Amino acid sequence: MLGEPQNGVTGSEFGSGEPSGPSQVGFGVGAAGSVPVLCPCSLAMMIQILLKLDRLDLARKELKKMQEQDEDATLTQLATAWVNLALDSGHPETLLNLVVLSQHLGKAPEVTNRYLSQLKDAHKNHPFIQEYQAKENDFDRLALQYAPSA
């Protein structure tokens, strides 16, 4: 039906307090003359797309819209984490987490090596890098010790 909410979603679930029609779902139009209202799923998708396009500024604007609708919603919290991660992608702890995550998800070794190289280049004095390089040196020394003699 034209005036009924789609997928059981109503405006009251997003904090508007009034019943919703198609204007609150998808890319509908709000009240006459108002800005179109997007459902949280559409906003979350938009945030993902903008982050992939390296448009953090626009992703933050879309996140603000989501937070205005319902700051406590799980999808809003997830989108907040995405944006914060994008903001903090050069932080050493974030890079370490990306190394572990890429290995856990079975990504190609090149992905893990890229994050590790970023970490080594940008944060040479980080305790993890210092320990990692010490272990690499120990491994090289032991490999020479047990190398076959010709």
Q: What are the pLDDT digits (tens) for 30-83? A: 555 555 667 878 899 999 999 988 788 899 999 999 999 999 999 999 999 889
CB atoms within 10 A of CB 39: 21
Q: Work out the average pLDDT over 101-121.
A: 92
Gyration radius of the chain's alpha carbons: 24
3-state SS, one letter per residue, for 30-76: CCCCCCCCCCHHHHHHHHHHHHHCCCHHHHHHHHHHHHHHHCCCHHH
| CB proximity list for 130: less than 8 A, separation 6 or greater | none
What share of residues in the chain are helix, strand, coil (percent, to 5)? 65, 0, 35
Residue type, position 81, single letter: A
Q: What was the pLDDT predicted at 106?
A: 94
Structure token pair of residue 77: 């919290």
Report domain extents, the chain: 6-87, 92-145
Residue 122: pLDDT over 60: yes
Q: What was the pLDDT predicted at 20?
A: 44
